[in-house]
A and B are shown apart, each in its own frame.
Chain A
Amino acid sequence: MSEILIIGAGPAGLSGAIACAQHGLKVTIIDEFIKPGGRLLGQLHQEPSGEWWNGMKEAEKLINETKTLPIDIRCGVSVYNIERHDADWYVYTNEGVFESPYVLIATGAAEYAIPVPGWTLPGVMSIGASQVMTNVHRVQVGKKGIIIGANVLAFAILNELQMAGINIERVVLPAESPISKKESNPEEVLKILTEAGHLAPSALLRNGSKLMKIDSLRRMALKYFPKGGMKINGTPLQLKKAAIEIVGNEKVEGVKLATIDSQGNIISGTEKLYEADFVCIAGGLYPLAELAAVAGCPFKYIPQLGGHVPIHSKNMETPIPGMFVAGNITGIESGKIAMAQGTVAGLAIAMASQSNAKIDEQLQQALQKVEEVRTKSPIQFIPEIAEGRLAMERVWEKESNRGELERVIF
């Protein structure tokens, strides 16, 4: 039996493991994928400083570090249930039951889908799937692709696909429907893109992003937005085209697009079929918190964190005894933040099991580091992330003041 079980071998899980193993705790990490690293494995981009962020190398560094410590990484292990009896967690997997007094849930995020008529055809995938195929498995996704959905995640991955020589013909919006809301409205989309920092699709948006925060200027920009789209390294972003339907017999053969106005209303008679052999749907990310929910953790709905998030403290503890969380399960942010949060969680667990001044000092430093990384972060998947974090801090305070939080039923 290990002293701590970590679910998820991504940036948060690996960093958490290293932090608590450095204080002598025996750690087991389990992960569903065939190799450790999580979403780091797919990441490759240039930072505004000019430096490259090579996620695969970052993952390798972390994995090498785990090898010098009492950390056991088990891949290909899926958790289907988690329960607490007396002082221990029982984690049920396809490889048997794992027992541990502490558990760190670092399961990351999942992608929002945007249903578009024809989205069940082979050749339609989430944008994240195209990233995994390209950067992890090194498989060519197709010859001619269309991305539906314009957000920060879409542009980050578009850039990676372009570097790999994968041809993306255009980026368009999903057509307005009861299921797609903000993501179908060019004005709303432009508002989000102005927050995208160096990943913004053109110099105009990048340098003019301050100006573009002014509503009237944004409206004007949309009015004069080029019909053919704005080029992002050769791929046009077409904010005034919407995907009506993905068509094909046995697999994707094309996408029916229509011209839309600034509010996303379809202009009739403008429908036209564009050829494609694959389609990536980019709906953004949400915290993957199913295990925390099964364990009985209370949740808070905070859109600025990406949706329903398990209630947690700054130290990454939940109201459930012995259960900690870190990484995107607590809110959608970059891998660097996940690493910093993982360290906090690892140290908090070390504190919980053997409180001493030295660990506490490291914990305080780790907490500061999270703030530092967040402030320095060139992009945010959610522009209002800091507000979301603050909202969660208030929730935790309120719940703590309700009393009895200290290791009792919530």
Chain B
Amino acid sequence: MHKDNTIIICRCEEVTYSTLQETAKLHQCSARELKLRTRAGMGFCGGRTCRPILDRVIEDFIPNTTADAIPLKYQPPVRAVTFGTVGGSND
């Protein structure tokens, strides 16, 4: 591990481990808040690459993440789609 923790966790939004760590420390936030503040897991791939890592990291930073609930809620759309497709105009 790099000493400066500049390793990228979320590739799409280029969020580093240290950004996640500092944000969690500063705001003492929930998993969802951490995601919204840093945009980790909110990029084009919809978190398909980094979600499990984020879950792990979040468990380290934020205690009491309940075991059975998925730490970060899944919400539609779970695939990248155009506004047209979602809106029904299907251009």
Check B52 against A178 for contact (C-beta < 8 Å): no
User: What are the residues of chain A within 8 A of B26 when measuring CB–CB?
Assistant: none
Q: Is A24 an interface residue (CB 8 A)?
A: no
Chain A 92-120, CB-CB to B under 8 Å as 1, else 0, gives: 10101000000000000010110111011
Give the A-B pair count, Cβ closer than 8 A. Answer: 82
User: What are the residues of chain B within 8 A of A80 when measuring CB–CB?
Assistant: 76-79, 81, 85-86
Q: Is B42 an interface residue (CB 8 A)?
A: no
Check B57 against A179 for contact (C-beta < 8 Å): yes
**How far apart are the CA atoms of A308 and B56 in the complex, in Å?**
13
Q: Which of A59-84 contact B (CB under 8 A)?
A: 78-82
Check B81 against A94 for contact (C-beta < 8 Å): yes
Check B74 against A294 for contact (C-beta < 8 Å): yes
For chain B, the bracket of interface size reads 20 to 34
The smallest beta-carbon distance between A109 and chain B, in angstroms, is 11
For chain A, the bracket of interface size reads 20 to 34
**How far apart are the CA atoms of A110 and B17 in the complex, in Å?**
22
> Of A119, A286, A294, A301, which one neighbours B76 at CB under 8 angstroms?
A294
Q: Which of B1-45 contact A (CB under 8 A)?
A: 1-2, 6-9, 11, 17
Check A299 against B70 for contact (C-beta < 8 Å): yes
Closest to B74 in A: A293
**How far apart are the CA atoms of A291 and B75 in the complex, in Å?**
9
8 A-B contacts, Cβ less than 8 Å apart? A79-B78, A80-B78, A81-B78, A179-B17, A179-B53, A291-B78, A293-B73, A300-B68
Partner-B contacts on A (CB < 8 A) = 32, 78-82, 92, 94, 96, 110, 112-113, 115-117, 119-120, 175-179, 245, 286, 290-291, 293-294, 298-301, 307-308
